Amino acid sequence: MEIENLKALVYGDGGLNDYQKELAQNEFEAIQIKINNMFEEINYKDVIDLGFKSKKMKDQMHIDMHGFDDIDVKLKLTKYIYIDWSVFSHETHLIRIDNKENMNILSKFEIKTLPDLKAIINIFKPVRQNVTYA
């Protein structure tokens, strides 16, 4: 059922009895929640709380264009893989580079939600073992 049709059934007459209206309204609200979660913004506090490092970049061209320093917000996962968070768009990307000298991007994947970001970080977390020595 399309959202607009569902919305018309819930909020219009639509020929539904009260029970059917309630079911349709619950379904409509569930769809709205799913849609809102798809576009959940990842904020600065979220990434800083997850261990991202913020570094002010001295780039005169950026200052000339925008009037302020650029801020680089990253979380290093491995030698060649990191997560980048954009101060301007709040977009988050998992990035793989070729090496530290050239920094050529080999692949890039957009992370859209905070739960997905946390899951990706957990994949790269080192396994800590509790070792008891005798």
Instruction: List CB contacts of 44: < 8 A, sequence separation 6 or more.
Output: 73, 85, 87, 90
* 78 falls within a domain: yes
* Residue 117 shares a structural domain with residue 57: yes
Strands 81-85 vs 92-97: parallel, antiparallel or unpaired: antiparallel
30 and 72 in a single domain? The answer is no
Give the model's pLDDT for residue 3.
Answer: 58
Instruction: For residues 12 and 57, state if they share a domain.
Output: no
Name the domain count of the chain.
Answer: 2
Cα–Cα distance, 114 to 120 (Å, whole number): 10
More confident residue, 11 or 129: 11
pTM of the shown model: 0.61
Domain that holds residue 64: 44-124
Do 25 and 61 sit in the same domain of this protein?
no
Residues 95-116 have a mean pLDDT of 89
**CA 13 to chain CA mean position, Å:** 39
Q: Does residue 112 sit within a domain?
A: yes
Q: Which of 3-7, 78-82, 109-113 has the lowest mean pLDDT?
A: 3-7
Name the most confidently modeled range: 40-44, 62-66, 70-74, 116-120.
Answer: 116-120
Least confident of 45-54, 61-70, 95-104: 61-70
Domain membership flag for residue 130:
no
CB 107 within 8 A of CB 93: no
Give the rounded distance of the alpha carbon of 134 from its chain centre. 45
* CB-CB contact of 72 with 55 (8 Å): yes
pLDDT score of 134:
37
Reading the block at residue 42, the tokens are 């990842």
Residue 82 has pLDDT above 70, yes or no: yes
For the segment 42-52, the average pLDDT, to the nearest whole number, is: 92
Distance CA 72, CA 56 (A): 6
Long-range (24+ apart) CB contacts under 8 A made by 3-12 are 3/28, 3/31, 6/31
pLDDT surpasses 50 at 111: yes
